Structure 1
Amino acid sequence: MEEVIRLIQQKYQLTDKEMLRDMAEHMTIYHAKKGEKIITEGEKQSNVYFLISGIIRGFYFSEQGKEITDCFVYEPGEIIASDLLEESRATITEQALVESELAALPISEIYRLMGKYQEIMKIYLACMNLSLYRHRNHKIALSRYCAENRYRWMKRTYPGLVDRIKIKHIASYLNITQQTMSNLRKREKEEQSGTASDAEHLDVDDI
């Protein structure tokens, strides 16, 4: 647990050692299997999780029952939770895409910590700001860019992630078909090997 607390301390630039010790006393380590749902849409949530290692995908369902990828968490120290920091029904599902290690902290303890330590708000505000920033930029990318440039945007925004997750999850996040995503990856490999044609770039391809 000492390494986890050090990770959180560095991630959020915390200085209150008493608060960090208090957090550590109420945290538990959780190992999530590949494909496991950590938080399920519609179910009551009682914990938030700090990512130690792995990749987590947030998604919800369309009216037709299709999974729509909303976000990814893959940087150590980031928080996995539904929108609302309270013991309420989750609005999205959070799933481990690979075996992942998490540190669980009860939501009730977060409220207690907020009432006792002012610095805990640094974590809360940092997470809120990051979530708003990512969701706004995601929305702009979907409305502004063609399929190819959405993919380029994702590679810039989430360096290294596209090589670690399935095409179907990338396609869902970028709101393009899996076939278009496969074509983009194929073209990318051809460009890297110098065998790409001068074919016209792929245009917008919404699901």
Structure 2
Amino acid sequence: MEKARNVDIRQFYREDLGVHSEELLDKLEAVSQAVTLQKGEILNKKGERQTMLPFLIEGMMRCVTLDSEGKEKTLGFTMNRGDVVLSNMDLTGCHISTDQALVPSTLILLPIDYVLQNMKDEPEVIRVYQEQIVKWGMIYQSRAVSLSQGDATERFEWFCKEYPGMIDMVNNRYIASFLGITPVTLSRLRHGVATKVGREKRTDEE
């Protein structure tokens, strides 16, 4: 992990998170840091405490853990600007999964201690923190529901809508693990969709 260049931290808090107090923007800019992770680099490891609130600026992250057999299990992806990259945590605030960059990725890190220490004096800090945690919770819940329902085809179609374009950028093994299917099944589904799109395109041209 290295310091990111040409990242306007102040602009991110103002335009993406809606912070308007110039005094608070000064403080957030002072305590936050912008970092770049290379492909395959780890942001948070399983067992480490959550000390930062990481916001994705650009790139793509995946949350991964090991199952009972010691095999990797992809739990989720983050690819939208402004989304919080949060692993699953236990009651002590320690990660029970790992966050890894799938491509070179840039993030802004806000110390959680700063948020907790300034909640009483800075209402906007409370708002930003609560909004991001609620947003993350809703994404997590929606994802869990979608993955628990439907057959392989329905889950694949949901994935393509939820993460547009990712199917062509991410290792098939990661996506198959996330959807709870085998790489062979994923390849079959991809081929089926491509064939369907091809037929529809020819029909439109006729």
Residue number among 15, 23, 41 corresponding to 1:10 in the alignment: 15
Q: TM-score, normalised by structure 1?
A: 0.84
Q: Is residue 157 of structure 1 aligned with residue 139 of structure 2?
A: no
Q: What TM-score do you get using the length of structure 2 for normalisation?
A: 0.84
Match of 2:179 in 1: 174
Which amino acid is 1:143 matched to?
A: S
Instruction: Select between 113-122 and 22-31 the one with higher mean Cα deviation.
Output: 113-122
Is residue 50–residue 104 contact of structure 1 (8 Å, CA) maintained in 2?
A: yes
Where do residues 8-157 of structure 1 align in structure 2 (5 Å cutoff)? Answer: 8-83=13-88, 88-157=93-162
CA contact (8 A) 2:37 2:104 kept: yes
What secondary structure, in the 3-state scheme, does the structure 2 residue paired with 1:70 have? Answer: strand
Larger displacement relative to structure 2 (124-133 or 67-76)? 124-133
Q: How far 1:136 moved relative to its partner? A: 2.0
Deviation beyond 4 Å, 4+ runs, structure 1? 83-87
TM superposition shift of 1:86:
9.9
Distance 2:28 2:109 in 1: 10
Aligned position for 2:189: 184
- Residue deviations 1:143-168 (CA, integer Å, cap 9, x gap): 22111111111122222332221211
Residues in 1 aligned to 2:10 and 2:83: alpha-carbon distance in whole angstroms = 13
Gaps (5+ residues) in structure 1?
A: 196-207
Residue 83 of structure 1 and its aligned partner are, at CA, apart by 4.3
Cα contact 1:8–1:77 (8 A) shared by 2: no
Aligned length: 195
Secondary structure of the residue aligned to 1:51 is strand
Aligned to 2:115, the other structure's residue is in SS state helix
Tell me the distance in 2 between the aligned counterparts of 1:71 and 1:45: 18
Distance 1:84 1:107 in 2: 14
Distance 1:58 1:192, change over 3 A: same
Deviation of 1:100 (Å) = 0.6
Structure 2: which 5+ residue stretches go unaligned?
1-5, 201-206
- Measure how far apart 1:117 and its partner are: 0.8
